[in-house]
Amino acid sequence: MKVGFIGLGAMGAAMASNLVKAGHTVTVWNRSEAATAPLVSLGAKAAATADRAAQGEVLHSMLANDKAVREVILDSGLLDGMDPGTVHVNHATISVELARVLVEEHAKRNLGYVSAPVFGRPDVAAAGKLNILAAGKVSAVQKVQPLLEAMGAKIWPLGEEPERANIVKIAGNFMLVTAVESMAEASALTRAHGVSAGDFLEIMTSTLFASPVYQGYGKSIVEQRFKPAGFALPLASKDIGLALEAGTSRHVPLPFASLLRDSLLEALAQGDEDLDLASLSLVAARRANLGD
């Protein structure tokens, strides 16, 4: 299939590479042109502009936030240059409000639109083992199903309203950040009483919380391994903001989300923008005067 892929950060590049490996004709674009080189070496074509990457049957995008999606997809006029019937698959974690705007703008131009945010870090994306949420018109989802399968271990259908996938992604990331914050605080508590984070988290992630999120982030906390960031603090902060925004829009109180927002802001205020979410353990340690 002839596809385009725009947005080649750690996640986007890994996902696009699996489309190339699956035999699809892939044209890539990124704001930073250097990011296209590894994909070109695999057999992808580099587009000089985003709209040139949108000339295939399907366009994938993996952009950082609402602002980037608005600029690249909406404000640039990219949609106006796409052929009717082309399907846009948006993998970004964006607000529910923007998701609804995108549905309207694609419908005006007779373009298909599928919201397909993912669960998984860059290493999982590179292995083609992502869990991919998918919501959109049945015909559009069916058209892109082989592409999603090339990038993911499982595709989770969520109906015909694309914003359904976005709210599930937002709520899922809210739970993920909650899990990391709880490990950070609990391990600070045990350290203050003479039990190392390593001993404590090995027990917890082997018994009560023997799941990938706890095990993976728990290991990062113990090893103080915060770079390179698989889920950088600014992105986590953005996602908690989206959860609070979505809660406010439907009068859903999210007390934990407010606490997480403040923990993340505290980390960012300390200059930790390039660190992984697991570095919330540093915040908990500083609060308890435990050092690192």
Q: Which pLDDT tens digit goes with each residue over 40-82?
A: 999 999 999 999 999 999 999 999 999 999 999 999 999 999 9
Cβ contact 5:28 at 8 Å? yes
pLDDT in tens, 97-106: 999 999 999 9
Q: Which of 168, 182, 179 is nearest to 131 (CA)?
A: 168
Question: Is residue 29 within 8 Å of 58, Cβ to Cβ?
Answer: no
**24-34: pLDDT as tens digits:** 999 999 999 99
- Provide the 3-class DSSP secondary structure of residue 130: strand
Averaged pLDDT for residues 219-244: 97
Whether residue 61 contacts residue 78, with contact meaning beta carbons closer than 8 Å, is answered with: no
Per the listing, tokens 């404000």 go with: 75
Q: Give the active site residues.
A: 169
Please give the domain boundaries of the chain with CATH numbers for all domains: 2-161 (3.40.50.720), 167-287 (1.10.1040.10)
Are 158 and 87 in contact by the 8 Å Cβ rule? The answer is: no
Mean pLDDT of the chain: 97
Predicted confidence band of residue 292 (pLDDT cuts 50, 70, 90): low
- The answer to whether 120 touches 90, Cβ cutoff 8 Å, is no
Q: Work out the average pLDDT over 250-279.
A: 98
